[in-house]
Amino acid sequence: MKTETYDILIAGASTTGAWFAREMAKRGHKVLVIEKQKEKDVSREYDIFHMEKYEMQKFGIELPTEGDKEYGFEFGSTGGKSPYGNYEKFGVGNPIVGMHKHEQIMKMNRKAEEAGAKIIYGAAFTDFIYDENGKIIGAKYKTARTEKEVYCKLVADCTGIPSAARRMLPDTSVVENKVLDPKNIFYVVLYYVKYKDANVDPMKLHTFFLNYKAWSAPSGDPNGAILGIGGNYGYEYAEEIFKDFRKNVPWPEYTVEKIEKGMTPYYRSLYSFVDDNFIAMGDTAQLTKPTCGEGCSSSLYQARIAVDVISRLLNQGKELTKENMWPINKKYMEVQGKDFDALRPILMGIVRCTYDEAEYMFKTDTLFSQKILGGGGNDLDITPVDVANILKNLAFGVATGKLRGEYIKAIVKSLTQFIKVAALYDKYPETPAGFPEWKKKADELWKEIGSMGDTCDKNILAKLGKI
Ligand SMILES: Cc1cc2nc3c(=O)[nH]c(=O)nc-3n(C[C@H](O)[C@H](O)[C@H](O)COP(=O)(O)OP(=O)(O)OC[C@H]3O[C@@H](n4cnc5c(N)ncnc54)[C@H](O)[C@@H]3O)c2cc1C
């Protein structure tokens, strides 16, 4: 076996790996990226994806323009519609770019190479290399022809849901080594449709239906759209719920031209991303938006903190121990982690309603409100006054027979859990020394909260043999 030495080895060259590689290489660090897929097959799982323009700019990602291979189209962020389609909450209209994923990722990878990173395609991470004290000092990878070893100061796992490196960590690691259970994965089915009536304007139909976790988004075809649906446990569950959506929501007739499927994490973030000479990033670290499961830009908030902390440590000649890298955990919880994870129980509570109850709440701007649905999960700031108003409107709904008492109990519980998560994440430990005690409390709290998978229809799951 041949050996090579780098500052950083990144496993996975998709959005997170490509961005991290570029930023670290730009700062003068020696970076190797290994990507399991061959160059022509990278990020082919689905075609169109979106990023908000202001987020691309924030993270220094070049905006594509018409004529570029990766460019698809532009539109504004949407809000959400009620289960029977009668009421709508409008999005803030942030400009969004739709891009072809493979082309965009290859562009990001080329930028990383221009900055000095080396990328090897068709090379899959297989295991860590440890020193005699059990410290990570490198990684092994496999290509079609050979197996190799690379020595490095840090292994960054950017391999998405498979978590190829993270899952090899010992049980003693402060980074969880379990891969996501199907219950905690969002299985997405995308129907690329063409409307039968040429007068249908798809741009006027774009919206999100939280109660089905379904949406309509542009496809780039002036007479077509992408109808998407996501569900926990498997694609079959999502497809079953899609039948409800089709039955309940008036929608123009269409033909399905193409179907794509893919997975995204739908669970709280890892408690710790770092251990000695290791960091988990992107989907591996479960950093997707709680409202919709998108992760291309939300992952970069943690990645940017990681760039600052790790680059500084390398420049100072310091070791990349978990103690030295701990500020990445702490800062992330402040910047995004607390907001995302505190929102999860609220979302789980609000989707426990019936379609009729949701229709009523859309009408009265309660929970399915302009503030919660219109913000798209970004910078959500729910104040105690908001909570008091929600409780008042819910009480009125029960008094008038529009809402079940059982549902109110679920909501009150979820609001209490929201407060508990926020309070616990505010006390995220400053150093690894305080972590075991914090983790014990977090484990108890998340055991009580559960996950979005718990809100799935048990009858459908039983019919599909999932439970
Ligand atoms: C259908 C669908 C639509 C979506 N649309 C959007 C959207 O519009 N906007 C948005 O922000 N998010 C969207 N998401 C979510 C988004 O795809 C992910 O959050 C994002 O791709 C995560 O990027 P990542 O780099 O962390 O992981 P991934 O994109 O999963 O990339 C992981 C990379 O690691 C490689 N890899 C795996 N194993 C190994 C190994 N052993 N060794 C080396 N390499 C390995 C893989 O080949 C892959 O290239 C969507 C998800 C789905 C399923």
The pLDDT of residue 389 is 86
Q: Is residue 79 part of a domain?
A: no
Same domain, 148 and 67: yes
Write down the pLDDT at residue 379.
56
In a domain, 81, yes or no: no
Q: How far is CA 115 from CA 40, 58, 132, 423, in A?
A: 21, 18, 34, 41
With a 6 Å cutoff on the Cβ, whether 451 touches ligand 1 is no
- pLDDT tens digits for 368-380? 888 877 765 555 6
Regarding whether 283 and 370 lie in a shared domain, the answer is: no
Domain CATH code at residue 158: 3.50.50.60
Tens digit of each residue's pLDDT (9 = 90 or more) over 154-172: 999 999 999 999 999 999 9
| Atom of ligand 1 at shortest range from CA of 228 | 1
Measured in Å, residue 162 CA sits from the centre of ligand 1 at 10
Question: How far does residue 46's CA lie from ligand 1's centre (Å)?
Answer: 10
Residue nearest to atom 2 of ligand 1 (CA): 262
Give the distance (Å) from ligand 1 centre to CA of residue 10. 14
Whether 290 is in a domain gets the answer yes
Question: For residue 45, how far is its CA from the centre of ligand 1 (angstroms)?
Answer: 8
**Ligand 1 center to 412 CA (angstroms):** 35
**Domain-ending residue, one of 314, 334, 354:** 334
* Same-domain status, 324 and 343: no
**Range 353-359, long-range pairs (CB < 8 A, 24+ positions):** 353/211, 353/403, 353/407, 354/404, 354/407, 355/83, 355/84, 355/211, 355/244, 355/248, 357/397, 357/402, 357/403, 357/404, 357/407, 358/82, 358/83, 358/210, 358/211, 359/82, 359/83, 359/84, 359/86, 359/87
283 lines ligand 1 (CB under 6 A): yes
Q: Which helix (H) or strand (E) holds 222?
A: none
Q: Which of 414, 347, 408, 403 is nearest to 375 (CA)?
A: 347
Q: Is 324 within a domain?
A: yes
Q: Please give the model's pTM, rounded to 2 decimal places.
A: 0.96
**Is the residue at 85 inside a domain?**
no
In a domain, 305, yes or no: yes
Residues 56 and 19 in one domain: yes
- Are the C-beta atoms of 158 and 21 separated by less than 8 Å? no
Boundary residue ending a domain (265, 289, 304): 265
Q: Which of 159, 161, 227 to mutate to test the pocket of ligand 1 (most atoms within 8 A of CB)?
A: 159
203 and 296 inside one domain? no
Based on the fold, state whether residues 173 and 311 are members of the same structural domain.
yes
Residues 367 and 433 in one domain: yes
pLDDT attached to residue 460: 97
Q: How many C-beta neighbours within 10 Å does residue 68 have? A: 15
Which pLDDT belongs to residue 374? Answer: 75
For a pocket test of ligand 1, which of 22, 36, 215, 336 has the largest count of ligand atoms closer than 8 A to its C-beta?
36
- CATH code for the domain in which residue 250 is found: 3.30.70
pLDDT for 380 equals: 63
User: Are residue 385 and residue 445 in the same domain, yes or no?
Assistant: yes
Does ligand 1 have an atom closer than 6 angstroms to the CB of 80?
no
Pocket of ligand 1 contains residue 13 by CB under 6 Å: yes
Ligand 1 test: best mutation among 49, 94, 192, most atoms within 8 Å of CB? 49
Enclosing domain of residue 426: 339-463
User: How many structural domains does the chain have?
Assistant: 3
Q: Ligand 1 within 6 A of 188 CB?
A: yes
Same domain, 275 and 412: no
Whole-number pLDDT of residue 78: 84
Instruction: Tell me, yes or no, whether 122 and 238 share the same domain.
Output: no
Which residues of the chain fall short of a pLDDT of 50?
Answer: none
Residue 162 lies in a domain: yes
Same domain, 110 and 30: yes
Is 98 touching ligand 1 by the criterion CB < 6 Å?
no
Domain final residue, candidates 289, 312, 334: 334
Q: Is the CB of 9 under 6 A from ligand 1?
A: no
Same domain, 65 and 133: yes
Residue 440 lies in a domain: yes
